[in-house]
Structure 1
Amino acid sequence: MAGSTYGTIFRIMTWGESHGKGVGVTIDGCPAGLPLCEEDVQTYLNRRKPGQSKFATARNEGDQVEILSGVFEGKTTGTPIAMMVRNTDQRSKDYSAIMDVYRPGHADYCFEQKYGFRDYRGGGRSSARETIARVAAGAVACKLLAHYGITVNAYVKSIGEFEIDPKRFDLSERDNNSLNMPDKVAAEETAEFLERMIAAQDSVGGVVECLVDGMPVGVGEPVFDKLDASLARAIMSIGAVKGFEIGDGFAAAKALGSQNNDEFYVDAYGKVVKKTNHAGGILGGMSDGSQIVLRAAFKPTPSIAQPQKTANNHGENVEIAIKGRHDPVVVPRAVVVVEAMTALTIVDLLLMGKNARLD
């Protein structure tokens, strides 16, 4: 199967299936000398693991990471870093009733048509559990970015029709509620809404917003390897993502040039900065030194317990009600995945840009 690698210099390859022995990642291209231990990675994995609230799947996985290579005496060696998380709570029998059925909203039909077979146990490589490997690699990328003074922070901007209020924005609040919303009031209102969705055996989607601070000017290339194009590819590769925006995004299509342009000025320190940030920190495919703002729109969780019409691989029309342990909303657990893919993209382009000029 092609398509399991990402990056040019800081390159990763993910592997494993939802109901196999485990999932993992190999990182090639991480510089030597970066302080790294399993706890650095575990902190990120704990943010995406299941079973942490009533709004996440009840699958009881500890998601404990093992660093198998590439680290010696607490620092990276410059050789490939291999990491693994073992699966410990698979219930493959939950999926035996749908082994011949194409679940609505899932990749079952496409996977079977492309490869001639499919792993029906949770979707195999198409499972959201594959994101464990991305998050593990992203944790390393975030630590490397911190070396350059760059931080990546994502949060839930909205779930369904419920959205955070910018006037109440408090990033520290994100870690105080199970929905990863930086707005306590919005989180409480959204939780009540999700209770109703659970009772109705339905699901809902939402939007994750991500902020990147400390960016130098000029990360990204002006043609095919644009920073915004690369970020779009990375974020859209996350399962369930159906939309992507930078800065004002689609709202820019309704604005005038006089409204959308970010004017420059020289500040008191002699630095060229922008008065506004409609561009979201990227101009001409390159970072402009201001905060990068991106958003990812996630569709509702396709696995719902309501009866749905579908077909099977015997050519029959059937009805299905999906059993098992599924998230009524994937957005809160996807926050750290968005951070990971953003960090992986930026660190790769940052390292690529080291050969842009002799000095």
Structure 2
Amino acid sequence: MYGSTFGNILKISTWGESHGAGIGVVIDGCPAGLPLSLEDIQAYLDRRKPGQSRFTTQRKEADTVDILSGVFEGKTTGTPISLMVRNTDQRSHDYSQIADCYRPGHADRNYDIKYGFRDYRGGGRSSGRETIGRVAAGAVAAKILKELGVEVTAYTLSIGPVTIDKSKFDKEEMGRNALYMPDADAAKKAQAYLEDCMKEKNSSGGMVECVIKGVPAGIGEPAFEKLDAALAKAIFSIGAVKSFEVGDGIAAASSDGLHNNDAYRMDEEGNVRKKTNHSGGITGGISDGAPIVLRAAFKPTPSVAAVQETVNRRGENIEISIKGRHDPIIVPRAVVVVESMAAFVILDAMLGSMTTRMDAVKDFFKNL
């Protein structure tokens, strides 16, 4: 299997399986001298760990991170940073019933076709636990971005038919409800909807929105490394993501040029500003200085307890009711995953832009 490494200047390689000894990531290209502690990374991992509410899997994992390399006396050394989280609450026997059949909505059959066999214990590499490495790396990227004045914030935009009211947006509310919704009223409605789904042994999909502030204009490349294309690849690589958009996204298809264009004006300080942000902060693949706004749609959790039709490896039609500990909705735990991947892409693109102009290169060497 190739394809477990992502990035250009800043690179990550994730490793591990859901029911193996552990999950981890190697980060290559992180600058030396960044103050970095276990607490910095653990804070991010705590946002995605299971068992925090009745709307997440009840698998009890502390998801405690260890720093194996790349940090000395509280600062990064410039060498690869290796991070690991051990699996401590595997129940592989929960999956024995599906060892010989294909779960609807899962990649079981595709793995069998591609590799000739599969790790059926929780899905192996296709499990949501693979995102631990992404979140750990995202914590590092976000800390660097913070020192550069860039803030990345993701939240639950919608769950099933319930969408937040932007006029009621309260960032602090995200930490007060189990669904990471910045709208208390919407969170209550969404919880009631999920309760009904669970009574029916069903699950729900939803959407995550991410806003990135402080990215200067000029980040990204005009062809194959467009900033929005890099973000799309990163977000689509998260399991269960089925749609991605920037700015107005799909709504732009039903708009017209005069309404979709963002008019430019000079502000009182002599800076170029946009009157609107239909572009979502990216035009021509390059950041334009406005907040970057992106959204990711997650499908409903495919592991449901209700009876479903499927086939087994012998080609027989069967019915299945999936047992085990599964999230009735993926979205709340995916919020920090989207945030982490977005932070990583933005930082990688900013590092790449440092060599775009000769005056910037000269200034760098003058300061050595």
Distance across 2 between alignment mates of 1:267 and 1:146: 26
Matched position secondary structure for 1:355: coil
Which residue number corresponds to residue 346 of structure 1?
Answer: 346
Which residue number corresponds to residue 296 of structure 1?
Answer: 296
Which residue number corresponds to residue 332 of structure 2?
Answer: 332
Query: CA offsets per residue over residues 154-182 of structure 1, 9 Å max, x none?
Result: 00000000000011111111111000000
- AA aligned opposite 2:10: F
Query: CA offsets per residue over residues 34-79 of structure 1, 9 Å max, x none?
Result: 1101100000000000000000000000000000000011110000
- AA aligned opposite 1:296: A
Question: Equivalences for 1:3-82 in 2 at 5 Å?
Answer: 3-82=3-82
CA positional deviation for 1:358: 1.2
Q: Which runs of 4+ in 1 moved over 2 A?
A: none
Which residue number corresponds to residue 232 of structure 1?
Answer: 232
Which residue number corresponds to residue 122 of structure 2?
Answer: 122
- AA aligned opposite 1:66: D
Distance across 1 between alignment mates of 2:357 and 2:98: 56
Matched position secondary structure for 2:354: helix
Query: CA offsets per residue over residues 71-90 of structure 1, 9 Å max, x none?
Result: 01111000000000000000
Distance across 1 between alignment mates of 2:171 and 2:356: 35
Query: CA offsets per residue over residues 296-340 of structure 1, 9 Å max, x none?
Result: 000000000011110111111111000000000000000000001
Which residue number corresponds to residue 2 of structure 2?
Answer: 2
Question: Equivalences for 1:106-255 in 2 at 5 Å?
Answer: 106-255=106-255
Distance across 2 between alignment mates of 1:116 and 1:241: 26
Matched position secondary structure for 2:133: helix
CA positional deviation for 1:194: 0.6
Distance across 1 between alignment mates of 2:268 and 2:85: 50
- AA aligned opposite 2:4: S
Distance across 1 between alignment mates of 2:272 and 2:19: 52
Which residue number corresponds to residue 311 of structure 2?
Answer: 311
Which residue number corresponds to residue 257 of structure 2?
Answer: 257
Distance across 2 between alignment mates of 1:311 and 1:186: 39
Q: Percent identity?
A: 64
Distance across 1 between alignment mates of 2:193 and 2:357: 53
Distance across 2 between alignment mates of 1:112 and 1:344: 32
Distance across 2 between alignment mates of 1:301 and 1:171: 26
- AA aligned opposite 1:314: R
What number of residue pairs does the alignment pair up? 359
Which residue number corresponds to residue 97 of structure 1?
Answer: 97
If the length of structure 1 is used for normalisation, what is the TM-score? 1.00
Distance across 2 between alignment mates of 1:71 and 1:269: 42
Matched position secondary structure for 2:189: helix
Distance across 1 between alignment mates of 2:187 and 2:114: 41
CA positional deviation for 1:239: 0.2
CA positional deviation for 1:26: 0.2
Matched position secondary structure for 2:112: helix
Distance across 2 between alignment mates of 1:39 and 1:166: 32
- AA aligned opposite 2:144: L
Distance across 2 between alignment mates of 1:160 and 1:37: 38
Structure 2 unmatched runs, 5+: 360-368
Which residue number corresponds to residue 363 of structure 2?
Answer: none
Distance across 2 between alignment mates of 1:177 and 1:266: 41
Query: CA offsets per residue over residues 177-232 of structure 1, 9 Å max, x none?
Result: 00000000000111111111111100010000000000101110000000000000
Matched position secondary structure for 2:221: coil
- AA aligned opposite 1:225: E
Distance across 1 between alignment mates of 2:100 and 2:206: 30
CA positional deviation for 1:294: 0.2
Query: CA offsets per residue over residues 105-131 of structure 1, 9 Å max, x none?
Result: 000000111011100000000100000
CA positional deviation for 1:349: 0.8
2:254 is the counterpart of 1:280: no
Distance across 2 between alignment mates of 1:298 and 1:64: 26
Distance across 2 between alignment mates of 1:144 and 1:117: 41
Distance across 2 between alignment mates of 1:129 and 1:47: 13
Distance across 2 between alignment mates of 1:15 and 1:78: 21
Distance across 1 between alignment mates of 2:184 and 2:246: 25
